[in-house]
């Protein structure tokens, strides 16, 4: 890993949060993702299951976290299962964790080798009343894809068909959307690195530069500050390409007079930052660009003003949409007649703002959480309104990361250029 060690207390606290939700005499099993193959003998860069990370901090394939808090044998109440180091394997792919190293990262004292898992889990299964198994239950998951999490679930249920099973994901969804102060501290480091990268590219951008050159500058700044890399495929979209929400080709020239939309974030300690800024390629907004940008910023600031504990998420979204409608009316993109005659299922503002404004953020960029319940203290969100105008070949989006506090929220990107004046000054 490139990042400095994360204190094991973060993961110890997370495990206790999960254990507090478990039923009496229950067992929970969390397997990590495998390494996924490419063509030939190549593999994709390894990314473990977020729940295993949340519970242990271990970034190594074939890791399993086992929790059995009512086990009569106190040593077996928390077990970390890792791949046994192999001399030949390590010659090819590098160092694998020893037991003491795994304990130092996770705080789990009992570390066992993977080749003994089946025997160990059989003893636990025979005494547990309820077994929690974990699957990916993200609302936007593509369920047509091959699912290794389901393979593990099916294998356990085949071997132990008469046990009572429950879904760990229900608990994880509730817990992971509320960040501890320790989790936010790690996120702050990812945000600080992202801020440094923004400052770097604001001084680099000029007419004639290529989008991929900007991506390279971001990557350089991320890695030199110990980030693992990009939190997601970064979007460097100049001109009309900014209207494509997940544009990742980053292969065009940035031209004089265009706006440049940059959506990027660093990953540090497996936690993610997510920033979007839209800037003028030549360093100066035109009057129209400034007008549209300020309308988008007004919606962003409205969202920040109302995103507080207790507000129902649907009410928050409704208020955002109403503010967007007001701003689009103000800058002449829609009319009162458009609003009067609009289809309630497809309101007029949707022509220019066609995505959600907020998502949970954490170990994955679109983290787990409920979009129907009330906002709670500790939740970590993005706020990212956008205005996309096909006829003007313009796309503007503004995004910061917001941590919900007891009485309001904290903008974790506070102090980073966001107004027209601040952006122009930074680019000068």
Neighbours of 94 (CB within 10 A): 7
| Position 382 in a domain | yes
pLDDT on residue 127? 95
- pLDDT tens, position by position, 295-304: 999 999 999 9
**pLDDT tier for residue 187 given thresholds of 50, 70 and 90:** very high
pLDDT on residue 138? 85
| Position 77 in a domain | yes
∠ CA 248-252-253, rounded to 5°: 140
- pLDDT tens, position by position, 363-415: 999 999 999 999 999 999 999 999 999 999 999 999 999 999 999 999 999 99
Adjacent-strand bridge partners of 387:
396
402, exposed or middle or buried, with CB in 10 Å at 0-12, 13-18, 19+?
buried
Residue where a domain stops, chosen among 123, 155, 176: 176
Q: Are 325 and 353 in contact (CB under 8 A)?
A: no
Three-class secondary structure of residue 215 per DSSP: helix
Structural domains counted in the chain: 2
Adjacent-strand bridge partners of 333:
none
The reply to whether 237 and 153 lie within a common domain is no
Structure tokens at 199: 């400052």
Mean pLDDT of 287-298: 98
Q: What is the CATH number of the domain that holds 382?
A: 3.90.230.10
**pLDDT tier for residue 129 given thresholds of 50, 70 and 90:** very high
- Higher pLDDT residue, 142 or 57? 57
Q: Name the residue range of residue 345's domain.
A: 181-427
- pLDDT tens, position by position, 210-259: 999 999 999 999 999 999 999 999 999 999 999 999 999 999 999 999 99
Residue where a domain stops, chosen among 122, 152, 176: 176
The reply to whether 211 and 351 lie within a common domain is yes
The reply to whether 291 and 161 lie within a common domain is no
Q: Are 79 and 15 in contact (CB under 8 A)?
A: no
Residue where a domain stops, chosen among 152, 176, 200: 176
Q: Are 376 and 403 in contact (CB under 8 A)?
A: no
Mean pLDDT of 331-349: 96
The strands making up 275-280's β-sheet, listed across from edge to edge, are 235-238, 259-264, 275-280
Alpha helices in 210-360 (DSSP H): 211-224, 287-306, 313-330, 336-340
């Amino acid at each position: 890993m490139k990042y400095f060690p994360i204190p094991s207390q973060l993961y110890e606290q997370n495990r206790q949060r999960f254990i507090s939700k478990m039923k009496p005499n229950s067992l929970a099993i969390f397997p990590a993702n495998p390494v996924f193959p490419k063509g030939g003998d190549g593999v994709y860069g390894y990314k473990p299951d977020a729940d295993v990370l949340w519970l242990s901090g271990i970034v190594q394939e074939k890791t399993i976290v086992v929790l059995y808090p009512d086990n009569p044998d106190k040593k077996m109440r928390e077990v970390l299962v890792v791949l046994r180091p192999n001399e030949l394997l390590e010659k090819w792919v590098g160092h694998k964790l020893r037991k003491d190293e795994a304990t130092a990262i996770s705080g789990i004292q009992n570390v066992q080798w993977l080749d003994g898992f089946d025997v160990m889990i059989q003893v636990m299964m025979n005494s547990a009343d309820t077994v929690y198994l974990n699957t990916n239950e993200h609302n936007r998951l593509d369920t047509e894809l091959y699912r290794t999490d389901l393979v593990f679930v099916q294998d356990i249920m085949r071997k132990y068909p008469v046990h009572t099973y429950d879904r760990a994901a229900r608990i994880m969804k509730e817990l992971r959307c509320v960040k501890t102060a320790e989790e936010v501290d790690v996120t702050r480091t990812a945000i600080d690195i992202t801020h440094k990268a923004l400052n770097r590219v604001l001084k680099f951008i000029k007419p004639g530069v290529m989008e991929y050159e900007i991506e390279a500058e971001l990557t350089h700044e991320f890695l030199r500050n110990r980030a693992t890399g990009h939190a997601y495929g970064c979007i460097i979209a100049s001109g009309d390409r900014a209207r494509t929400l997940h544009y990742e080709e980053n292969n065009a020239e940035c031209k004089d007079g265009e706006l440049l939309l940059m959506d990027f974030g660093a990953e540090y300690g497996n936690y993610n930052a997510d920033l979007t800024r839209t800037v003028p390629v030549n360093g100066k907004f035109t009057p129209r660009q400034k007008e549209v940008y300020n309308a988008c910023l007004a919606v962003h600031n409205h969202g920040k003003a109302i995103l507080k504990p207790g507000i129902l998420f649907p009410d928050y979204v409704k208020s955002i949409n109403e503010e967007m409608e007001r701003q689009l009316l103000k800058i002449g993109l829609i009319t009162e007649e458009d609003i009067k005659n609009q289809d309630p299922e497809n309101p007029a503002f949707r022509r220019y703002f066609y995505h959600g404004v907020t998502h949970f953020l954490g170990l994955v960029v679109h983290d787990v959480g409920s979009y129907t319940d009330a906002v709670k203290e500790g939740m970590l969100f993005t706020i990212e309104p956008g205005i996309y105008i096909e006829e003007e070949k313009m796309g503007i989006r503004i995004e910061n990361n917001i941590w919900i506090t007891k009485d309001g929220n904290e903008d974790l990107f506070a102090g980073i250029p966001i107004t027209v004046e601040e952006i122009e000054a930074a680019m000068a």
